[in-house]
Structure 1
Amino acid sequence: MVSAKEFAIWLKDKFLHERQGITLTRRDINKLTGRQGFSLSFVNDTHYELMRYGIAFVTDTARENFYLIPIKDCKHWRAALDSQFEKELYCNIYPIERSSG
Structure 2
Amino acid sequence: MSYVDEVYKLETMYNVWRHVFPPVPDERKWPPVSLAPFKLLPDRELHLKPKGRPCLTKIRTNMDIREIANQQKLCKWCRNPGHISRSCPNRNS
TM-score class normalised by the smaller sequence: under 0.3
TM-score, normalised with respect to structure 2: 0.22
More helix by share: 1
More strand by share: 1
Larger radius of gyration: 2
TM-score, normalised with respect to structure 1: 0.21
The structure showing larger relative contact order (alpha-carbon pairs under 8 Å, at least 6 residues apart) is 1
